[in-house]
Structure 1
Amino acid sequence: MSDRICVIGGNRYFGRLLVERALAAGHQVTVVNRGSAAPPAGADHVVADRDDETTLGAALGSRVFDVVVDQVCYTPVQAAVAARVFGGRTRRYVMTSTIEVYDPASAALPAVPLGTPVTEGVVDPAGWPVAAGLPWYDAAYRDAHYAEGKRQAEAVLARAGAFGFVSVRSAHVLGGGEREWTGRLAHYAERVARGEEIAVHAEPLPTVFVHHEELAAFLLWAAVGSDFTGPVNACSDGFLDVHGLCEEVAARVGRRPAYRVTEPGGAASPFSFDRHYAMSNARARDLGFAFSPVAGWLPRAVAEAVAATAVAATAVARPA
């Protein structure tokens, strides 16, 4: 059956892949963004700023949807605009959230025993306090309070009452080679290949990851393949720490990683953590979606990153 899907954002990385997969499956897809990039062929394109309620509503016109997938909701203010604009336009709303909502360094959260996978109930959007009056319009403030912005955005949409709401709390996303816009895997590929030191904590704790293709598949399934509501963790099976990740890179580039242990509280490389918030994917599995083991796709993701960084280095070195 064909569904009418609206994707807010969706112009890069796994969001674009989500749009491509939805189109390939025969769904009618509308992409809403500010016009910085055209959507894949076959998608309806609405150019609007999601922060401007009046303009967004006017640009959507009479369009209605079966489901909205919001890739770029970062604050309770944005969530409130979305709730008002899409209330009455859709029966289901899926927000892409993040593992960072569980970061114990960013909020007072219930204690989770070390090594115990974190479940969705640790952060309940139905009861999370919302402070819409904070300076969410300030980019620096928003970036510094990314996790709290996501928690409050979930809370606003969960309480909107105008649609069934799902928050997909994504693990750290890897894969895609040069399409991997975070550049974090490239960071490791480059540093290991060059023999440069990688800053790590004295005892880095494991975390969870998800492949960009599997996350796109899960978002599409959450949108049109199931009718559950509430938060759900999206991560591959298996924990992985920064040493395991670097060992995989080392096996690909043929060079041992060099580590530098940071002082307590010091800055470390992107996936070195001194706090525990590795997620459980048990709810997703119970709902009917089985994630693959991280060990099954990590070698391919690392190979793509190594190849992409090698191509980039060659391009820089090539004379004009």
Structure 2
Amino acid sequence: MEKAREVLVIGGNRYFGKRLIARLLAAGDRVTVLNRGSSPPPPGTVHLVADRDDEKSLTDALGSRVFDVVVDQVCYTPRQADVARRIFTGRTRRYVMTSTVEVYEYEDAPALVREGAVDARTVHVDLDLPWTEPEFLTAHYGEGKRQAEAVLAADPAFPYTAVRVAHVLGGDDDFTGRLDHYAERIRGGTPISVPTDNRPATYIHVEEIADFLFWAAGEDFTGPVNAASHGLLTTQELCDAVAAHVPDGKAVFQAVEVGEVSPFSFRRSYGMDNSRAARLGFPFGRTRQWLPRAVAETLGKGD
């Protein structure tokens, strides 16, 4: 009988994070959840409270604990990655960072983008930028993740992988309000603002990304890996799926040259090539097959 793994999950108590924890527990893993204490973790886990931005707080909370796997759901900045790399070097055999498709914000490729388009080993890191200021971090989300990956990649011996997650859909606990944004406008006949040149993107279902992170925790590959279902979606296709849950609903679009646009409408391509993960053995689903279910889960059958 295999020994149960010791797994640490940093942050991520909601949405796909809680689904990941459920999968780990179901597999018999011993799961420790570390967060700031703002929300309790699921039953069956060990709870540690620490400020992950404070190295001493993090070190004190961890004590002498070691882990087979660390899944870091809330590493947003190079400072956080710098602290994590120091603390977890020699303390874990595998460190999985949840990254994002937004790391490709400067790579507007005509085709699906592969991991090599952003080589973290060549990304400039600036620890002195105001990473602790919420407005700055929000405005530089993709750059924060890029630089966080770069910090981890700088040590060839550090056993990390960065899961670059596509835009996530589905679940009745989707807290982002992005599909609700479309439903409200379709219901009220309000124009939906989109870029003049509106580009498609890849997506992943909330259950599929939880499956992916669980799978990645048990593998031994390193470096970045894209996590996206097969197939691009346009804003029109997404809105058509939403309109199916709104009586007599029909999306009306308003193209804008500059200014704020609706979520899931993009001036540049955010399509990711998922062939590396597929070659490594993960079986992705197809976006168009799970999209109706995802919309129904989030909006409810009555919408």
TM-score of Structure 1 vs Structure 2, range by shorter chain: over 0.9
Matches within 5 A, 1:194-205: 194-205=188-199
Using a 3 Å threshold, how does the CA distance of structure 1 residues 53 and 205 change in structure 2: closer, same or farther? same
Residue 275 of structure 1 aligns to a residue whose secondary structure is: coil
Structure 2 unaligned spans of 5+: none
- Which of 197, 211, 216 is 1:222 aligned to? 216
Give yes or no for contact 1:174–1:180 (8 Å, CA) kept in 2: yes
Separation (CA, whole Å) in 2 of partners of 1:161 and 1:140: 32
Matches within 5 A, 1:138-177: 138-161=133-156, 163-177=158-172
- Which of 90, 95, 99 is 2:101 aligned to? 99
Matches within 5 A, 1:122-141: 122-141=117-136
- Measured on the aligned residues, the alpha-carbon RMSD in Å equals 1.4
Give yes or no for contact 1:88–1:162 (8 Å, CA) kept in 2: no
Separation (CA, whole Å) in 2 of partners of 1:154 and 1:183: 28
User: For residue 204 of structure 2, what is the aligned residue in structure 1?
Assistant: 210
Give yes or no for contact 2:65–2:91 (8 Å, CA) kept in 1: yes
Give yes or no for contact 2:229–2:285 (8 Å, CA) kept in 1: yes
Q: What amino acid is aligned across from residue 142 of structure 2 in structure 1?
A: A
Task: Give CA-to-partner distance per residue, 1:213-257, whole Å, 9 cap, x none.
Answer: 100110011011x11101000000000011110011112223111
Residue 90 of structure 1 aligns to a residue whose secondary structure is: coil
Task: Give CA-to-partner distance per residue, 1:21-79, whole Å, 9 cap, x none.
Answer: 10011111100000111111101100111011011111111110001000000100000
Residue 208 of structure 2 aligns to a residue whose secondary structure is: helix
Q: What amino acid is aligned across from residue 236 of structure 2 in structure 1?
A: H
Residue 99 of structure 2 aligns to a residue whose secondary structure is: strand
Give yes or no for contact 1:191–1:197 (8 Å, CA) kept in 2: yes
- Which of 54, 57, 61 is 1:55 aligned to? 57
Q: Which is worse superposed, 272-281 or 187-196?
A: 187-196
Q: What amino acid is aligned across from residue 24 of structure 1 in structure 2?
A: A
- Which of 279, 289, 296 is 1:303 aligned to? 296
Give yes or no for contact 2:179–2:242 (8 Å, CA) kept in 1: no
1:91 Cα offset (Å): 1.0
Separation (CA, whole Å) in 2 of partners of 1:213 and 1:278: 20
Residue 225 of structure 2 aligns to a residue whose secondary structure is: strand
Q: What amino acid is aligned across from residue 135 of structure 1 in structure 2?
A: P
Structure 1 unaligned spans of 5+: 311-320
Separation (CA, whole Å) in 2 of partners of 1:150 and 1:61: 27
Using a 3 Å threshold, how does the CA distance of structure 1 residues 37 and 148 change in structure 2: closer, same or farther? same
Task: Give CA-to-partner distance per residue, 1:94-114, whole Å, 9 cap, x none.
Answer: 00000000012xxxx4x62x2
- Which of 166, 187, 191 is 1:193 aligned to? 187
1:82 Cα offset (Å): 0.6
Give yes or no for contact 2:105–2:142 (8 Å, CA) kept in 1: yes
Separation (CA, whole Å) in 1 of partners of 2:130 and 2:160: 25
The aligned length equals: 300
Give yes or no for contact 1:69–1:95 (8 Å, CA) kept in 2: yes
Q: What amino acid is aligned across from residue 48 of structure 1 in structure 2?
A: A
1:161 Cα offset (Å): 4.3
Q: What amino acid is aligned across from residue 50 of structure 1 in structure 2?
A: R
Give yes or no for contact 1:189–1:309 (8 Å, CA) kept in 2: no
Q: Which is worse superposed, 202-211 or 301-310?
A: 301-310
